[in-house]
Structure 1
Amino acid sequence: MNHRFDVELVSVTKRYGETTAVDGISLRIPPASYCCLLGPSGCGKTSTLRMIAGHEVVSEGDVLIHDQNVTDLPPLERGTAMMFQSYALFPHLSCLDNVAFSLKMRGTAKAERHARAREYLALVHMEGFADRLPAQLSGGQQQRVALARSLITRPRVLLLDEPLSALDPFLRSRVREELKRLQRELGITFIHVTHSQDEAMALADLMVVMQDGHIRQAGPPREVFERPVSAFVARFIGGHNVLAGPGGPIAVRADRCRLGAAGDGPHLPGRVAAVEYQGSSVRVALSVGEGQDASVLVPDEQFYAEPVAPGDSATLVWRERDAHALAEMG
């Protein structure tokens, strides 16, 4: 049966006593999407994920999965699976039995559940570790087993709560590639909560930026990065300077700014606050205007041809066409 959206939230609110954690949000996630809920701590992203899973009761509004209203259904009847940050593997069970566990609970015969578990271990490249216990695995390997265990129930939607936060940076990018590959191969929607902009940019088809229980902007990562709607989104996504323009606040990408002279076009005089070597580029942090901060990403070769040091005076220059007007400064 065709459905318009894998998940739809309709004016969903979550209150904990007097506190409103999620405030009347609406969101439509198209079929087979990789959706990242992104925002600072306390923005409501995890509460939103848990309401989709059925682990939190919705205070107001509706949750639909495959066009079916699941607001009052228990987690097991929603067709979702949740992968937690801590992996929560059973320490006394082998990888094979960990993955097969939910099928055992459903009464699937041993031979069949083991065959399916091996299939899903192979999907995450862990088939050679079937007999090992979780303690004999690295963090990244435990992660893959937890993923196989979540997927074996063939969910319509996989929910991931900061699944990469416990991994080191090298492993994080490897597992990130793995998640994207799995989502494409399985053709199901993944909804992934993160506070990492890089993670959301790399993974998402749909990036949802949240603040104070509201969705501030939702769209493909490139659109959000190119055209942030507000100073909050521009700052949170990173890589932008938020400046006071002649007609209100503007955002200009740091890699589209340069150090130049007043005659070069739109500019702000300033002073170099810090210099950070980042390999292929050097980040020059500036104090400009009245207590505003800005930064410029200068290609390494260009920087070392004309280096600057903290304390030097410098002029921040950009092109008119690279400035993007923002809704508000806040």
Structure 2
Amino acid sequence: MNDVELVAVTKRYGGAVAVDAIDLAIPTASYTCLLGPSGCGKTSTLRMIAGHESVSDGDILLAGRNVTLLPPASRGTAMMFQSYALFPHLSARDNVAFGLRMRGTPKAERLAKADQFLDLVQLGALADRLPAQLSGGQQQRVALARALITGPRVLLLDEPLSALDPFLRAKMREELKRLQRELGISFIHVTHSQEEAMALADLAVVMDHGRIVQAAPPREVFERPTSAFVARFIGGHNVLPRGERAVAVRTDRCRLDAGTEGPRLEGRVRALEYLGSTVRVVVATPDGTEAEALLPDSAFASSTVTLGDAATLAWNAADEHALAA
């Protein structure tokens, strides 16, 4: 049985369609990322699963039970908000215990359980601190523990890492994946970040204009994007015309090479970016077509290419992936 199923789910705000009759099955105990540009419908979808937004049409099933009309507290889900929404006057322990307090759990029991969940997110030593005395990453862990303590079947996360610095974001990705595996529940995580989705997801769901344009394991989405939109949004691909169709070619499969047969793009170097272990080289043709290569630093160092130089990007025909019209 799937943990979550969306059946022709639609959300309208007045005359505007935010989510357009989407179908999605989320397997039991999986990590799913909903990603796409701003306004694509991913947060509206998450909020409908949580019960914080009404469904205009369609049905939402959790563990086979239709919850479309149920209030959030009756669904078996918990939501961690982007702002964390901690109570500033309560300690970390009391923040985590708050959901159990609302359920009428005796004080000693709820505080003991709160300490267990603070230990789970490695914050047991800071249980008595107020939110203002915690770093952003620590506040996030408190919010995570508060969401998990009620024992949800599905945890919903609305851009939980967006406020963190890059180093802490990477650490928290590891923590989220660890917790999901240890607890054995489904996480559904909304993000703008392709890197975040690639690192976390068992199922990556790419949305555009209220529709799901591809839903597959991250490796499949990256290696076999279904459309030019997916290839461009996920990144790491050139989208190029090939007769009456388009193809995607991974940037790390392109090279600076004018001496071999095969597909190529000839132009001038428009941009060079040193990225440490790699160098990004962008080549533009006179008609405005652009493509880039992500070269190992050692490979670039052996070339003499500089900005404005004539250059040829080449790749193997076998590395081209045909895209839908």
Contact persistence 2:265–2:285 (CA under 8 A): yes
Contact persistence 1:205–1:220 (CA under 8 A): yes
- Select 1:286's aligned residue among 283, 286, 300: 283
Deviations 1:218-274 (A, max 9, x none): 000000000000000000000000001135100000000111116331112111001
Give the TM-score, by structure 2 length: 0.99
Deviates more, 1:292-301 or 1:154-163: 292-301
Alpha-carbon deviation of 1:30? 0.4
Deviations 1:293-314 (A, max 9, x none): 1110111011111131111011
Deviations 1:25-61 (A, max 9, x none): 0000000010000000000000000000000000000
Q: Could you say what secondary structure the match of 1:233 adopts?
A: helix
- Select 2:87's aligned residue among 87, 90, 108: 90
- Select 1:149's aligned residue among 146, 150, 158: 146
- Select 1:131's aligned residue among 110, 128, 133: 128
Q: Is the counterpart of residue 111 in structure 1 residue 103 in structure 2?
A: no
Q: Could you say what secondary structure the match of 1:276 adopts?
A: strand
- Select 2:183's aligned residue among 186, 189, 194: 186
Give the TM-score, by structure 1 length: 0.97
- Select 1:202's aligned residue among 199, 202, 208: 199
Alpha-carbon deviation of 1:290? 2.6
Deviations 1:195-229 (A, max 9, x none): 00000000000000000000000000000000000
2:171, 2:285 → 1: CA distance? 39
Tell me the residue number matched to 1:309. Answer: 306
Runs of 5+ unmatched residues, structure 1? none
2:247, 2:267 → 1: CA distance? 17
- Select 2:236's aligned residue among 219, 239, 242: 239
Q: Where do residues 255-294 of structure 1 align in structure 2 (5 Å cutoff)? A: 255-261=252-258, 263-288=260-285, 290-294=287-291
Aligned-CA RMSD value: 0.8
Tell me the residue number matched to 2:251. Answer: 254
Letter in 1 for 2:7: V
Contact persistence 2:97–2:110 (CA under 8 A): yes
Alpha-carbon deviation of 1:289? 6.0
Tell me the residue number matched to 1:71. Answer: 68
Letter in 1 for 2:209: D
2:75, 2:139 → 1: CA distance? 26
Contact persistence 1:268–1:289 (CA under 8 A): no
1:288, 1:76 → 2: CA distance? 57
Contact persistence 1:269–1:289 (CA under 8 A): no
After TM superposition, which residue ranges in structure 1, 4 or more long, deviate above 2 angstroms? none
- Select 2:38's aligned residue among 17, 36, 41: 41
Q: Is the counterpart of residue 215 in structure 1 residue 206 in structure 2?
A: no
Runs of 5+ unmatched residues, structure 2? none
Q: Is the counterpart of residue 224 in structure 1 residue 209 in structure 2?
A: no
